[in-house]
Chain A
Amino acid sequence: MTFRHKHILGTRRFSEQDITLILDTAESFKEINAREIKKVPTLRGKTVVNLFFEASTRTRTSFEIAEKRLSADAVNISASSSSVVKGETLEDTAKNIEAMHPDIIVIRHAASGAADYLASRLNCSVINAGDGAHEHPSQALLDLFTIRQHKKRLKGLTVTIVGDIAHSRVARSNLFALTTMGAQVRVAGPGTMIPPGIEKLGAEVFTRMEDALRGADVVMMLRIQLERQGRHLLPSLREYARFHGLNREKLALAQKDALVMHPGPMNRGVEIASEVADGPQNVILEQVENGVSVRMALLYLVSGLAPENT
């Protein structure tokens, strides 16, 4: 089996075989992450630039640890929007970094399509660590990895995603990846947060969260952006918590052994009650742990392509 992607831009373009290879590879890295010496020399001499235009602790740290455990030289650039303010274009910023010959650029950016933009303009590999409301492939893959570990399969599972589907890259990447793997995906959220046409992407849309939860194998809660409150999207967090927050009663509608997931950071008491966030069904910290293994797998797989095969 071979991996034919030079870049990791989104799960949308992955086949079932691609995703299976990534998850299988991540299994091997999970074993390494359990060792005393959690480091292999695989990417020795390779330079990975983490180019983050949006603040991120979790994802950036996870990538950085993954890079270091593969012995790559990791460089962090928090560009925020400073270069935009200075008038530098994204292409110029990226070309400047590329002039220093990194092998991989990991990019996080507020604009949908930013990773595609870089990939079409640079020679090095590009890994999308989240672009606007488009995709966040490494998050979705670590979610699938965590689900597969617990459920031993993905095919035929019912996964319910609740929250701001319209503005969520996590929701999109999960939707694409899960449907590719044969899972049924349900989405639920306030009417203002369900994007038009989402059902054409394979999601079953529910207006009542309770209906979406019934019989679900996995419940994935999305982070609600607090700043949406009081705008037209959301009257209040209180109201959101009441209708779209996950608590013990609502979780009881799902399968008894349903997994509770959250990409973090959580707003306790808003989209997820503490009793659930800390409850026996939560695998939230496992998601974080698995993130390193999955990201190591992605870095390893994009590095393996010989130049003549790209």
Chain B
Amino acid sequence: MTSSETILLDKAAIRRALTRISHEILEKNKGTENLVLLGIPTGGDHLAAELAAIIAQIEGEEIPYGVLDITLYRDDLAHKTIRPLRKTDLPFSPDGKRVVLVDEVLFTGRTIRAAMDALMDLGRPCNIQLAVLIDRGHRELPIRPDYVGRNVPTSHEEEVHVDFDRDLKACAVRLVKP
């Protein structure tokens, strides 16, 4: 079987997309008050760190960000071989916060469903928003992102990968056709 792949975004394009998303987050939330970012491993946690850094540059103000592992909230435990758990790390209580969930690729929406459940068990945020680098369609749940880096039409069998460099900065988005 041969597979082919296309680079959808290179490092500079990713940087531009993340910068735009940062502005949109600030605009929609009217600043950084009560704003926190929560990345979903694997990948989303690195993107959340990058977004937080860009927002800090724009606003001159640090915002808190954390990691939310959703493995225990997945609905496909019985169908997948086990994957090691990541540690959930929230350096803040989500109570009353405007929480922006950050994920690399939005696909079926099931991960985000799990993330919302996981987050609700940790506290009561004021609201939950969603930022993704890629939206590839094929939603199976009524979930839509608030911030999107790039909409990419894909077939169900294709895969979208986000690569990170040694500094954990996103450096490429690849579309892999089976």
Contact = CB atoms under 8 A, between A and B. Distances in A.
* Pairing of A with B: yes
Contact of B84 (A21, A42, A306, A307): A21
A222 to B, nearest CB: 32
B73 A41 contact: yes
Nearest to B70: A40
Interface in A41-72: 41-43, 70
A29 B121 CA distance: 14
Contacts of A304: 77-78, 80-83
Given A42-B77, A303-B78, A306-B78, A37 B84 contact: no
Interface residues of A, number: 27
A123 to B, nearest CB: 14
Given A35-B122, A303-B77, A303-B78, A41 B84 contact: no
Contacts of A116: none
> Quick one: which of B88, B121, B122 has the most chain A CB within 10 A?
B121
Contact of B82 (A32, A39, A41, A300): A300
Contacts of A31: 87-88
Q: Which 3 A-B pairs have the closest CB atoms?
A: A304-B82, A28-B85, A40-B72
Contacts of A40: 72-73, 118, 121
Given A28-B86, A31-B88, A42 B78 contact: no
A39 B121 CA distance: 8
Given A24-B84, A304-B83, A309-B81, 15 more contacts: A2-B82, A24-B85, A28-B69, A28-B85, A28-B88, A40-B118, A42-B72, A70-B72, A300-B85, A301-B82, A303-B77, A304-B80, A305-B82, A306-B78, A306-B80
Contacts of B88: 28, 31-32
A306 B79 contact: yes
A40 B85 CA distance: 13
B62 interface: no
A25 interface: yes
B43 to A, nearest CB: 18
Interface in A274-309: 300-301, 303-307, 309
Interface of A: 1-3, 21, 24-25, 27-29, 31-32, 35, 37, 39-43, 70, 300-301, 303-307, 309
A224 B155 CA distance: 65
A286 B87 CA distance: 20
B117 interface: yes
Contacts of A301: 82
Contacts of A43: 77
Interface residues of B, number: 20
Contacts of A1: 84
A112 to B, nearest CB: 29
A293 to B, nearest CB: 11
Nearest to B81: A2
A129 to B, nearest CB: 21
A3 B73 CA distance: 19
A81 B80 CA distance: 38
Nearest to A43: B77
B81 A305 contact: yes
Interface string B59-101: 0000000000100111001111111111110000000000000
Contact of B87 (A2, A28, A300): A28
A56 to B, nearest CB: 27
Given A300-B72, A304-B80, A309-B81, A41 B117 contact: yes
A300 B85 CA distance: 10
24 contacts: A1-B84, A2-B81, A3-B82, A27-B87, A28-B69, A28-B86, A28-B88, A32-B72, A37-B122, A40-B72, A40-B73, A40-B118, A41-B73, A42-B72, A43-B77, A300-B85, A301-B82, A304-B77, A304-B81, A304-B82, A305-B81, A306-B78, A306-B79, A306-B81
Nearest to A45: B78
A24 B87 CA distance: 9
Nearest to B123: A36
A41 B81 contact: no
